Amino acid sequence: MKKTIILILSLTFTLSLFGQKKATNVEINAQNVKDTISRHIYGHFAEHLGRGVYDGIYVGESAKIPTTYGVRNDIIEALKELKIPNLRWPGGCFADTYHWKDAIGPKEDRKAIENMSWGGYREDNSFGTHEFLNLCESLGAEPYLAVNMNSGSVAEAVDWKQYVNHKNGSSYLTDLRKENGREKPWNVKYWGIGNESWGCGGEMTVDYYVNLYKRYAIAMAGNDMYRIAVGPGEPDYNWTEVLMKEIPLRLMEGISVHHYSVIDWSEKGSSTAFSTDEYFQTMAKAWFMEEFITKNSEIMDQYDPEKKVALIVDEWGGWYETDPEGNGALYQQNTMRDAMIAGVTLNVFNNHADRVKMANLAQTVNVLQAIILTEGQKMLLTPTYHVMEMYKVHQDAALLPIEMNSDAMYSRGDKEIPALSVSASKDKAGVTHVSIVNIHDSESQEVNFMLADLKGKSVSAEILQSEKLQDLNDFDNPDKVAPKVFKGFKSRQGQINMNIPPFSVVVFEIK
């Protein structure tokens, strides 16, 4: 009789557990630390596209808005707050029709051009090399210049390098720079040799690109150069392999890849009026970044086991249909969905810090997954900005290895993706930060962090969340989505227990 009762009780207990999710256990290890999360993973991208540069970053010196040499002061301050490490310019596809000499010297003498890449409108070239490099200098950010490899020439690229990097008086180009108001060089380190050469940058074959790249790379060689070759924008892993096989490592410091979280390039959907099914599809595309980086890295490891060549993700983010009310090409609003894309993607980059050394969110202002939107004199910070601000604590911090045991999945039909994304780091002051994202649209997740050898007397946290996935900041309510103090956890010696709400981002600080 007793055996029967015990059996019934055991069966009842088992059935009570059946169908219940187990808590996710995350062990954070302070031992075996070997990689640093480069601050350059948190870079940005500003292309001459829509209202990204003109009527975005740059409004001119006669504008009623407070500016520094025509660049909005409020944008400068917002970017400084992010500790923006680098800024890529002038494109993008625009770079492949851009001739830098058209945009230097007195502004009344600069050549007006047609922006053939994005809408065919007229630009007066009032924002050029000096304006961009001075902006980067004021931000304390490294400039990342994209060379015109399609309609330009090797000579044009070499002249640009000499103009911005060589010491005063070394050639007629540095004399010209001085005449244009800049005596000392800017010492630009990062140079992209082409852009999307498989597409808008010339629709080249990889073999043709490799041969052309070598010409540019040799002509632009120097101790101050970080030359970035064009890698694939889709999972064309043969392109990556040919680059690694055919380009000597001494001629290449990085390979760029592009990946956007797009449901369907023919019907990209609305940035605000989206269903949960569309949200799931977008997040599945965002999670593909993990596979994309892993497979490219595996190929690079075969030819470069010492990881001398970096993987540069210099375009990433969400891409939807242009919002007409934004009054500009590729303008789109920014919701909690975009915050989820940012949180997951940045965790992926952090966790691949051994190979990923730079990334550039597309784009900075008024274009695609922008961190800042403007309307006349008004400016607002998007949910994506807030994720970047929360995650800046990882910049140049030591990556802490994690082991995650989880059955937390997010499903639609017969498809499923991980619901949780985590990364952790320890900064030079000994402070540990853990960033976690729950992308599930309706379910909270129970998570236990085991801190192992980490010692901390205090634990605090910040959360970004909202009531609806479609919530956003607009000019009537610019602070609707903003980080808040998070109290939904329990901390005891060596462990943190929490319930992370649906579609939210949490960053812990342990010190």
Active site members? 196, 315
Q: How far is CA 359 from CA 38, 123, 285, 345, 384, in A?
A: 10, 28, 17, 10, 15
Cα 501 to Cα 491: distance, rounded to the nearest angstrom: 18
Q: How far is CA 30 from CA 130, 313, 368, 460, in A?
A: 44, 27, 37, 19
Cα 508 to Cα 511: distance, rounded to the nearest angstrom: 10
Cα 339 to Cα 481: distance, rounded to the nearest angstrom: 10
Query: Strand, helix or coil at 257?
Result: strand
The DSSP annotation for 43-98 comes to EEE--SSTTSTBTTTB--TT-SS-EETTEEHHHHHHHHHTT--EEEES-SGGGGG-
Residue 343's contacts (CB-CB under 8 Å, 6 or more residues apart) are: 387, 391, 421, 435, 437, 439, 505
Find out whether 320 and 5 touch, Cβ atoms under 8 Å. Answer: no
* Alpha-carbon torsion (72, 73, 79, 84), positive or negative: positive
Query: Strand, helix or coil at 365?
Result: strand
Q: How far is CA 351 from CA 77, 147, 260, 305, 462, in A?
A: 29, 30, 19, 18, 21
Cα 364 to Cα 383: distance, rounded to the nearest angstrom: 13
Task: Write out the two tokens for 308.
Answer: 């001398």
Place of tokens 């209202």: 51
* Type of residue numbered 371: I
Cα 48 to Cα 93: distance, rounded to the nearest angstrom: 9
Query: Strand, helix or coil at 472?
Result: strand
